[in-house]
């Protein structure tokens, strides 16, 4: 349990430390160290959970089970690699005169603030605290979206703030309804504890819970970026600094989906209509298809990949909605590979934008000739995210397809169609950017591409062979969510 | 249900629900920003009264803390901040021309009916009083959204945002006698941080578009125009 407290304590110390010390030349490196320490703590925590099974802290404030512990490790890992990328990237932005020390101080402090909010969402056992932490993540990142203080970035941040704030208010209403249903059967003090609710799920009033779930799905769904609540997402991703886009896409969306799945588990326990699953399938499929079409029309490289994030979140929501062991396993795997691939892509996109001096797709050209590593990184990343074998995204999408054919065969053509459209949408933009002549005077930039290599290597590994302990981990989580294992 | 037969607390809660709902409607049709902020503060005050009343009747001392929090945040701090902003921007004499005022009010009324419709299934397990209270809080939430849609000033958006929080607080107090303390403190903290951030945002928006009319924030498009 000490590990869990450490995971929360380290980023908290980070917030205070960076806020007090201000920005110095080594702040970026210190940020990396904070994240590395956190990753070490999460691995320790994961080993504990692997050995002892589910851990419930005294006072029931924190719950660590196989489902959230792997997301915690993933969060720490992506947080670390993104901070490795962000250190030279932000230094370069400062050299360009886009940022000053004061804003970088805010940036590093809130980077840790965002990580703290993410860990709190994942570790807490209290559904109310989960909501508070989710809102906290919005508050921590909203000033980072407008970090460059351009009119566009301020507009994007305002949109993000208002849409996510109002959206997530719905989730609080859902949480209040959940508490109301729970208070009818048990003691009020522990009624918002997920573990208590889960044990007594069959006694909860199914009608109230179904209404509550609708609000939760809309609330947290705004943060997942489900269509039609997605409007803030491309703006916030495209206008904020690129490391922020990487963690928003790789972590925030996952954790919002995590909150929805936790609630779905409660609703499924109370009612037997599978209403929650159907809602998630509908919203997931809609997001997937709409985002696939929108990929074709993008002019900005970061907007392009944020639509790709919406598309993939749609697939995951859809898969969790189907709900069988195979679909759940696929969704968990997809969460992992999508996070890894998407944050790697954003790292290369950030450097590509620095090389070309713009985010406009039409003006980014000849990346492979200018700086082969960035060009190839972007190309391979896009191949991976489009779902080509042998990368992990292929495996998980294939499993989702299998599960769909098994449970809802009539939805398979839609899914295939969407994957095809998304593939075409990505590659019509990527191809001219990486190949082609390099524009006059385009120079390489200083870049650390280790995060990309490691992430894509892991995704490749997951596509070729999922290591035994990880497969075991996923099936334990699947067992928890869907009631049986796929293996 | 016969209202005279219920106890004093229930009657008081029902009247409070009605008044809080009424405040939302008043805000919806309000074109002057200062008056909008005043009505918002009034709604916050009613919420404080409700919380204190609940704390007194239910013998629940921790609700007094949330009553004080509501008073400080929603009645004093946020209205003060917004008022200062409006006066600084010199927009307090402007009357915002609301498009389709009648339609907006009608939509508000429909939203209230809709809230009752959505929450009706719970009447099987609970008293009609609870249904009223929850339905009013949901409609305050929805009316807050409508307020944000129909007004163009950033200040009005913040008022809408915060009145959504008012609706949620009311639901939490009436339906569940307050959330657990840790959650309530967390929510209050979030509201406080949000209020401070809004203040910072006003400054940024003002320096970037020289106005607080958010309709002018329209640079980001799906496709190039």
CA dist B114 and B118 (Å) reads 6
CB A136 within 8 A of CB A87: no
What is residue B222's predicted lDDT score, i.e. its pLDDT? 66
The token pair at A484 is: 């049986």
Contact call for B179 and A146, based on CB within 8 A: no
A101-123 and A127-145 helices, crossing angle to 10°: 160
CA dist A123 and A130 (Å) reads 9
Contact call for A155 and B218, based on CB within 8 A: yes
CA dist A436 and A97 (Å) reads 30
Q: What number is the average pLDDT over the span A65-82? A: 92
CA dist A424 and A427 (Å) reads 5
Residue among A180, A189, A216, A218 with most chain B CBs within 10 A, to mutate: A180
Q: Mean pLDDT, chain B, as a whole number? A: 86
Residue among A109, A142, A158 with most chain B CBs within 10 A, to mutate: A158
CA dist A240 and A147 (Å) reads 7
Per the domain annotation, does B84 fall within a domain?
yes
Residue among A117, A152, A169, A190 with most chain B CBs within 10 A, to mutate: A169
What is residue B131's predicted lDDT score, i.e. its pLDDT? 85
The token pair at A310 is: 């919406």
Picking from A4-13, A246-255, B148-157, which range would have the lowest pLDDT averaged per residue? Answer: B148-157
CB A154 within 8 A of CB B133: no
* A308 conformational bin, left if phi > 0, alpha if psi -120 to 50, beta if neither: alpha
Q: What is the dihedral of CA A474, A475, A476, A482, to 10 degrees?
A: 110
Is residue B1 over pLDDT 60? no
Q: Is B64 exposed, middle or buried (CB count within 10 Å of its CB: 0-12, 13-18, 19+)? A: middle
Q: Which of B134, B180, B214 sits opposite A192 (nearest CB)?
A: B180
Q: Angle CA(B107)–CA(B111)–CA(B112) in degrees, nearest 5?
A: 120
The token pair at B128 is: 């009609």
Q: Which domain holds residue B67?
A: 7-215
Contact call for A176 and B141, based on CB within 8 A: no
Is residue B46 over pLDDT 50? yes
Per the domain annotation, does B17 fall within a domain?
yes
pLDDT in tens, B171-216: 988 887 777 888 888 888 888 899 889 888 888 888 877 777 777 7
Contact call for A155 and B180, based on CB within 8 A: no
Picking from A25-34, A176-185, B119-128, which range would have the lowest pLDDT averaged per residue? Answer: B119-128
CB-CB neighbors (< 8 A) of B205 in chain A: 154, 158
To the nearest whole angstrom, how far is the Cα of B92 from the nearest Cα of chain A? 22
pLDDT in tens, A356-372: 888 888 888 888 988 88
CB-CB neighbors (< 8 A) of A158 in chain B: 154, 201, 205, 214, 217
CB-CB neighbors (< 8 A) of A188 in chain B: 176-177, 180
Q: Tokens 């696929």 belong to which residue?
A: A330
Three-state DSSP string of chain A:
CHHHHHHHHHHHHHHHHHHHHCCCCCHHHHHHHHHHHHHHHHHHHHHHHHHHCCEECHHHCEEECHHHHHHHHHHHHHHHHHHHHHHHHHHHHHHCCCCCHHHHHHHHHHHHHHHHHHHHHHHECEHHHHHHHHHHHHHHHHHHHCCCCCHHHHHHHHHHHHHHHHHHHHHHHHHHHHHHHHHCCCCCCCCCEHHHHHHCHHHCCHHHHHHHHHHHHHHHHHHHCCCCCCCHHHHHHHHCCHHHHHHHHHHHHHHHHHHHHHHHHHHHHHCCCCHHHHHHHHHHHHHHHHHHHHHHHCCEHHHHHHHHHHHHHHHHHHHHHHCCHHHHHHHHHHHHHHHHHHHHHHHHHHHHHHHHCCCEHHHCCCHHHHCHHHHHHHHHHHHHHCCCCCCHHHHHHHHHHHHHHHHCHHHHHHHHHHHHHHHHHHHHHHHHHHCCCCCCCCCCCCCCCHHHHHHHHHHHHHHHCCCHHHHHHHHHHHHHHHCCCCC
Q: Which of A158, A172, A189 sits opposite B168 (nearest CB)?
A: A172
What is residue A188's predicted lDDT score, i.e. its pLDDT? 65
Per the domain annotation, does B191 fall within a domain?
yes
Q: What is the dihedral of CA B167, B173, B179, B181, to 10 degrees?
A: 110
CB-CB neighbors (< 8 A) of A211 in chain B: 118-119, 121-122
User: Which residues fall within 8 angstroms of residue A287, CB to CB, at 6 or more apart?
Assistant: A225, A226, A227, A230, A310, A311, A313, A314, A317
Contact call for B190 and A139, based on CB within 8 A: yes
CA dist A407 and A327 (Å) reads 10
Q: Mean pLDDT, chain A, as a whole number? A: 90
CA dist A301 and A361 (Å) reads 5
Per the domain annotation, does B2 fall within a domain?
no
Is residue A448 over pLDDT 70? yes
CB-CB neighbors (< 8 A) of B204 in chain A: 146, 149, 154
What is residue A487's predicted lDDT score, i.e. its pLDDT? 65
Helix, coil or strand: residue B59:
coil
pLDDT in tens, A414-431: 999 999 999 999 999 999
CB-CB neighbors (< 8 A) of A194 in chain B: none
What is residue A205's predicted lDDT score, i.e. its pLDDT? 86
The token pair at B118 is: 């959505």
DSSP letter (8 states) at residue B72: I
Is residue A268 over pLDDT 80? yes
Picking from A7-11, B3-7, B68-72, B121-125, which range would have the lowest pLDDT averaged per residue? Answer: B3-7
**pTM recorded for the entire structure:** 0.93
Per the domain annotation, does B220 fall within a domain?
no
CA dist A476 and A53 (Å) reads 10
To the nearest whole angstrom, how far is the Cα of B133 from the nearest Cα of chain A? 12
User: Which residues fall within 8 angstroms of residue A187, CB to CB, at 6 or more apart?
Assistant: none
CA dist B95 and A326 (Å) reads 59
Helix, coil or strand: residue B89:
coil
Q: Give A193's strand partners.
A: A126
Contact call for A162 and B180, based on CB within 8 A: no
Contact call for B122 and A173, based on CB within 8 A: no
User: Which residues fall within 8 angstroms of residue B30, CB to CB, at 6 or more apart?
Assistant: B36, B39
Q: What percentage of chain A carries pLDDT values higher than 70?
A: 99
Q: Which of A139, A191, A294 sits opposite B194 (nearest CB)?
A: A139
CB-CB neighbors (< 8 A) of B214 in chain A: 158
Query: pLDDT band for position A53 (50/70/90)?
Result: confident
CA distances from A212 to A181, A204, A229 (A): 9, 12, 18
Residue (of B55, B66, B50, B60) closest to B14 by Cα position: B50
Q: Which of B122, B176, B223 sits opposite A176 (nearest CB)?
A: B176
What is residue B3's predicted lDDT score, i.e. its pLDDT? 65
B201: closest chain A residue by CA: A158
Contact call for A158 and B164, based on CB within 8 A: no
What is residue B225's predicted lDDT score, i.e. its pLDDT? 47
pLDDT in tens, A308-353: 999 999 999 999 999 889 999 999 999 999 999 999 999 999 999 9
Is residue B49 over pLDDT 70? yes
pLDDT in tens, B8-29: 888 888 899 999 999 999 999 8
Q: Which of B168, B204, B208 sits opposite A176 (nearest CB)?
A: B168
- CB neighbours of residue B94 within 10 Å: 13
CA dist A360 and A366 (Å) reads 14
User: Which residues fall within 8 angstroms of residue A60, CB to CB, at 6 or more apart?
Assistant: A125, A190, A193, A195, A196
What is residue B125's predicted lDDT score, i.e. its pLDDT? 73
Helix, coil or strand: residue B32:
strand
Contact call for A211 and B122, based on CB within 8 A: yes
Q: What number is the average pLDDT over the span A455-470? A: 91
pLDDT in tens, A370-418: 888 999 999 999 999 998 888 999 999 999 999 999 999 999 999 999 9
Q: Is B99 exposed, middle or buried (CB count within 10 Å of its CB: 0-12, 13-18, 19+)? A: exposed
Report residue A344 CA to chain centroid gap. Answer: 13
CA dist A132 and B196 (Å) reads 17
Helix, coil or strand: residue B224:
coil
Strands A63-64 and A55-56: antiparallel
Per the domain annotation, does B221 fall within a domain?
no
DSSP code string of B168-200:
HHHHHHHHHSS--HHHHHHHHHHHHHHHHHHHH
Q: What percentage of chain A carries pLDDT values higher than 90?
A: 58
Residue among B125, B144, B155, B186 with most chain A CBs within 10 A, to mutate: B186
Residue (of B179, B121, B10) closest to A183 by Cα position: B179
Per the domain annotation, does B222 fall within a domain?
no
Contact call for A128 and B222, based on CB within 8 A: no
To the nearest whole angstrom, how far is the Cα of B94 from the nearest Cα of chain A? 23
To the nearest whole angstrom, how far is the Cα of A240 from the nearest Cα of chain B? 13
Number of domains in chain B: 1
Q: Which of B119, B214, B219 sits opposite A152 (nearest CB)?
A: B219
CB pairs under 8 A between A and B: 135
Helix, coil or strand: residue B8:
helix
- CB neighbours of residue B123 within 10 Å: 16
CB-CB neighbors (< 8 A) of A151 in chain B: 208-209, 217, 219
Three-state DSSP string of A92-155:
HHHHCCCCCHHHHHHHHHHHHHHHHHHHHHHHECEHHHHHHHHHHHHHHHHHHHCCCCCHHHHH
A148: closest chain B residue by CA: B204
User: Which residues fall within 8 angstroms of residue A483, CB to CB, at 6 or more apart?
Assistant: A325
pLDDT in tens, A172-221: 999 999 998 888 887 666 788 898 889 888 888 888 899 999 999 999 99
Is residue A304 over pLDDT 80? yes
To the nearest whole angstrom, how far is the Cα of B138 from the nearest Cα of chain A? 8
Q: What number is the average pLDDT over the span A56-66? A: 86
- CB neighbours of residue B105 within 10 Å: 16
What is residue A317's predicted lDDT score, i.e. its pLDDT? 96
CB A390 within 8 A of CB A460: yes
pLDDT in tens, A97-140: 888 888 999 999 999 999 999 999 999 999 999 999 999 999 99
Contact call for B183 and A192, based on CB within 8 A: yes
Query: pLDDT band for position B224 (50/70/90)?
Result: low
To the nearest whole angstrom, how far is the Cα of B93 from the nearest Cα of chain A? 25
To the nearest whole angstrom, how far is the Cα of B54 from the nearest Cα of chain A? 16
């Amino acid at each position: 349990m000490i590990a869990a407290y450490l995971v929360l304590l380290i980023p908290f110390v980070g917030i205070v430390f960076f806020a007090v010390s201000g920005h110095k030349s080594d702040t970026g490196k210190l940020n990396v160290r904070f994240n590395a320490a956190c990753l070490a703590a999460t691995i320790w925590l994961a080993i504990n959970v692997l050995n002892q099974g589910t851990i419930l802290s005294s006072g029931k404030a924190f719950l660590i089970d196989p489902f959230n512990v792997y997301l915690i490790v993933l969060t720490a890992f992506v947080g670390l690699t993104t901070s490795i990328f962000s250190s030279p990237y932000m230094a370069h932005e400062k050299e360009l005169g886009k940022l000053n020390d004061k804003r970088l101080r805010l940036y590093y402090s809130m980077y840790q603030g965002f990580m703290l909010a993410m860990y709190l969402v994942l570790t807490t056992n209290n559904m109310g605290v989960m909501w508070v932490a989710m809102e906290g993540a919005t508050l921590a990142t909203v000033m980072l979206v407008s970090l460059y203080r351009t009119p566009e970035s301020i507009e994007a941040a305002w949109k993000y703030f208002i849409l996510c704030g109002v959206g997530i208010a719905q989730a609080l209403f859902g949480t209040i309804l959940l508490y109301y249903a729970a208070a009818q059967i048990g003691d009020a003090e522990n009624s918002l504890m997920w573990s208590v609710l889960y044990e007594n799920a069959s006694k909860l009033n199914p009608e109230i819970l179904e209404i509550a779930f609708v609000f939760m799905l809309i609330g947290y769904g705004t943060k997942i970026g489900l269509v039609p609540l997605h409007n803030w997402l491309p703006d916030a991703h495209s206008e904020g600094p690129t490391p922020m886009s990487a963690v928003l896409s790789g972590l925030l969306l996952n954790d919002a989906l995590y909150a929805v799945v936790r609630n779905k588990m409660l609703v499924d326990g109370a009612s037997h209509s599978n209403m929650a699953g159907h809602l998630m399938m509908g919203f997931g499929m809609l997001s997937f298809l709409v985002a696939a079409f929108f990929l074709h029309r993008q002019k900005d490289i970061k907007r392009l990949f944020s639509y790709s994030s919406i598309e993939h979140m749609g697939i995951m929501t859809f898969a969790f909605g189907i709900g069988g062991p195979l679909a759940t396993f696929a969704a968990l795997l997809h969460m992992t590979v999508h996070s890894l691939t998407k944050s790697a892509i954003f790292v290369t996109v950030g450097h590509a934008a620095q090389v070309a001096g713009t985010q406009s797709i039409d003006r980014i050209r000849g990346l492979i000739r200018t700086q082969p590593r960035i060009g190839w990184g972007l190309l391979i990343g896009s191949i991976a995210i489009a779902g080509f074998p042998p990368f992990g995204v292929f495996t998980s999408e294939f499993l989702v397809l299998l599960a769909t054919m098994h449970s809802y065969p009539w939805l398979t053509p839609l899914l295939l169609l969407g994957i095809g459209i998304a593939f075409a949408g990505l590659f019509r933009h990527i191809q001219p950017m990486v190949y082609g002549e390099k524009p006059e005077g385009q120079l390489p930039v200083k870049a650390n591409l280790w995060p990309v290599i490691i992430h894509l290597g892991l995704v490749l590994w997951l596509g070729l062979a999922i290591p035994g302990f990880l497969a075991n981990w996923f099936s334990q989580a699947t067992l928890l969510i869907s009631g049986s294992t796929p293996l | 249900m016969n209202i005279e037969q219920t106890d004093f607390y229930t009657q008081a809660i029902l009247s409070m629900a009605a008044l809080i709902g009424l405040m939302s409607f008043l805000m919806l049709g309000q074109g002057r920003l200062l008056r909008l902020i005043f009505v918002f503060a009034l709604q916050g005050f009613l919420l404080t009264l409700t919380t204190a009343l609940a704390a007194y009747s239910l013998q629940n001392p921790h609700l007094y803390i949330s009553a004080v929090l509501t008073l400080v945040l929603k009645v004093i701090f946020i209205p003060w901040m917004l008022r200062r902003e409006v006066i600084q921007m010199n927009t307090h004499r402007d009357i915002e021309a609301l498009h389709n005022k009648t339609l907006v009010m009608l939509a508000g009324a429909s939203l209230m009916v809709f809230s009752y419709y959505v929450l009706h299934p719970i009447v099987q397990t609970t008293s009609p009083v609870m249904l009223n209270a929850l339905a009013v809080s949901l409609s305050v939430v929805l009316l807050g959204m409508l307020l944000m849609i129909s007004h163009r000033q950033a200040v009005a958006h913040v008022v809408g945002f915060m009145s959504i929080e008012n609706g949620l607080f009311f639901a939490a107090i009436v339906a569940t006698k307050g959330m657990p303390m840790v959650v309530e403190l967390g929510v209050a903290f979030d509201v406080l941080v949000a209020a401070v951030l809004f203040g910072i945002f006003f400054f940024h928006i003002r320096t970037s578009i020289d106005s607080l009319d958010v309709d002018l924030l329209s640079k980001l498009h799906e496709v190039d125009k």
